[in-house]
Amino acid sequence: MQEIMVSNIFFSFLLASLVYLLLLHGAKCETYTVGDEDHWSTGVNYLTWSGKYNFVVADILVFVYPKGAHDVNEVTEATFRSCNASNGVLSKYNSGNDQIKLTDAKKYWFICDIPGHCLGGMRFAINVTEASAAANTNNTTGSNPTTTPNKSCASERGRTMIYLLLLCGLLLKILG
């Protein structure tokens, strides 16, 4: 009898731990159009734009612009500050509809390398945090920016839920 009780307590603890991990891992991620309705173009204050959001790992930035009129470069901090992309470029994009997944909790720097655009303001830096850390922060601007839910995050949560249910079924079979 005591063995069954210990098994049930262990199973309950394991199930609670898995649900907690699912909730932590399955945090909501978003797709952000850089510049919102103004897109990636000259004359936009990207410092203000980026300050409206709390970016987390797995979010996606979408840069929309006329192909050939602009580009997007993920760069080092030194390149960001100098607007000189002769070195320090980590990634280059030029499709006009670039989707960049934020894969790491770190600071990201982006610039447009078309002559005069970076110095004219087409640059911004963001700090990307783990999802659990961002859940405890609030938007400090008082605005309510719009974002698009990221369907790939929803499918990851669904897949995780299926694995959790399969694991629970397996544990019930073993303990039962």
Total number of residues shown for the chain = 176
* Average pLDDT over every residue of 95-112: 97
- The CATH homologous superfamily for domain 27-150 is Cupredoxins -  blue copper proteins (2.60.40.420)
Distance (Å, whole) CA 8 – CA 5: 5
Domain boundaries, the chain: 27-150
The pLDDT value recorded for residue 49 is 96
Q: Is the distance from CB of 109 to CB of 75 less than 8 angstroms?
A: yes
Task: Tally DSSP H helices, then E strands, for the chain.
Answer: 5, 8
pTM: 0.66
Tokens of 135: 């859940």
The whole-number pLDDT of residue 136 equals: 41
